[in-house]
Structure 1
Amino acid sequence: MNPPPTRVLITGFEPFDGEDTNPSWEAAHRVAQQPPPDMTVTAVAISCVFGQALDELRDAIEEKSPELVLCVGQAGGRTDLTVERVAINVDDARIPDNAGQQPVDEPIVPGGPAAYFSSLPVKACVAAARRAGVPASVSQTAGTFVCNHLFYGLAHLISTRYPGIRGGFVHVPYVPAQVTHRAAPSMAARDIATGLRAILVAARENITDIRETGGATH
């Protein structure tokens, strides 16, 4: 008998900072509509609001009981899919969130670890996206806005409440509609979704990571 499909939760953010769309949600929704083989994928839109984002993620995990969680966020200016290696325990907002909050140097979890590494095989995920024809790389920083807030919160939930879950975070570029008025790199939502599907397959198939360079000099 074949094993049951892997239960996956994928999240994307609502638009923020005056944007009309958010490519993370566009792509996450596409993945849920056309999931990889042998996976059931639920997509959840997350508010770009400190605190509320973690509440929504926690509720989705409790409701869906996923085995894999992939959170996705927009990183305007990046050129490729960037699989995040580490989340840090600090909120330091350069701009307000969608509720007007702008925390500065506040811990996400008071007394929590300084950082968590992703529990996904980040380098295997990058390699899989590249094999699917989508540019990708390892990122050493998820920023200090709501994306890092959600990533750290996910890792803390896995560490303290859901040890059977594996999860991580991917940042994605703008989509073309967002750059018609500025010079910035972009990627079609369908291509982002292709890369995310490959990342999910790699996360399911690789419990340990591959060993190849993925570091940075700065």
Structure 2
Amino acid sequence: MHILVTGFEPFGNDNFNASSAVVSALPASIAGRRLTTAILPVSFHRSGEALSALLAEHRPDALICVGEAGGRAAVTPEARAANEDDARIPDNDGARPRGAAIISDGPLSLPSSLDAQRITALLAAAGFAAQVSRNAGRFVCNHVAYLAYAQPVPALFIHVPALRPGGTEAGVGRETDLRAASTAAPASAWDMEQLLAAVELVAASL
């Protein structure tokens, strides 16, 4: 099996993105699965183009997209994505859509085409703080999740806590949950090695 795994570049006022750090650290293969990794731009316009180009080039058997959520302390597989862009802050191109459809004639929401409930249960059984989510926000993460779930390839978007080196607080990342936070575990309970292990477990389970 060939799996494409994507993360995101830093955005806003931060120069670090936990999803990028995790995805960049993934091995080339795990449990017999070949992994191809890529970092997407935090851009409503360019992220979809980049994802389409990656899918056309690599033709993977499955797609895992990883983003960071500053208001969450658990790994949260996204069971649904909404057909709406509604940005609290501008993306890296300065765009700030408000209440705009991602696909003009598309469904109001799309379900993940990989089983978010199963992946959440698997992570929890392995000792990771994990909760299934049905709200991916309305920023670029949700934008990419909606486009991913519209693809013929099985896909799942996963949010990870917005960790920062040295335990510093993320300057951005609450675009998913403005009110902030899961009570599953404090964010400080995570480190980058644990986030990497969680994403590796997801890939190995496909």
Q: TM-score range by the shorter chain?
A: 0.7 to 0.9
Aligned to 1:185: 187
Equivalent of 1:45 in 29, 34, 39: 39
Whole-angstrom distance in 1 between the partners of 2:112 and 2:12: 27
1:36 deviates by 2.1
1:57 aligns with 2:51: yes
1:116 match: secondary structure: strand
Aligned to 2:96: 102
2:156 maps to a residue whose letter is G
1:17-28 matches, cutoff 5 A: 17-28=12-23
Equivalent of 2:63 in 69, 72, 93: 69
1:10 aligns with 2:5: yes
Structure 1: which 4+ aligned runs deviate by more than 6 Å? Answer: none
Structure 2 runs not aligned, ≥5 long? 171-185
Aligned to 1:167: 155
1:180 deviates by 2.1
Equivalenced residue count is 191
Aligned to 1:79: 73
Tell me if the contact between 2:28 and 2:36 (Cα under 8 Å) persists in the aligned partners: no
Q: TM-score with structure 1 length normalisation?
A: 0.82
CA RMSD of aligned residues (A): 1.8
Equivalent of 1:135 in 129, 144, 151: 129
Structure 1 runs not aligned, ≥5 long? 1-5, 205-218
Whole-angstrom distance in 1 between the partners of 2:169 and 2:21: 20
Tell me if the contact between 2:19 and 2:66 (Cα under 8 Å) persists in the aligned partners: yes
1:118 maps to a residue whose letter is S
Return the index of the structure with the highest Cα Rg.
1
1:194 aligns with 2:188: no
1:26 deviates by 0.9
Whole-angstrom distance in 1 between the partners of 2:41 and 2:3: 19
Structure 1 residues 193 and 44 mapped into 2: Cα distance closer, same or farther (>3 Å)? same
2:61 maps to a residue whose letter is E
Tell me if the contact between 1:129 and 1:196 (Cα under 8 Å) persists in the aligned partners: no
1:143 maps to a residue whose letter is G
Q: TM-score with structure 2 length normalisation?
A: 0.87
2:124 maps to a residue whose letter is R
Whole-angstrom distance in 1 between the partners of 2:112 and 2:56: 20
2:19 match: secondary structure: helix
1:198 maps to a residue whose letter is L
1:77 deviates by 2.2
Q: Deviations over 1:86-130 (max 9, x none)?
A: 001000001000010000011001111111000111111112222
Whole-angstrom distance in 2 between the partners of 1:120 and 1:57: 17
2:77 match: secondary structure: strand
2:132 match: secondary structure: strand
Whole-angstrom distance in 1 between the partners of 2:161 and 2:82: 21
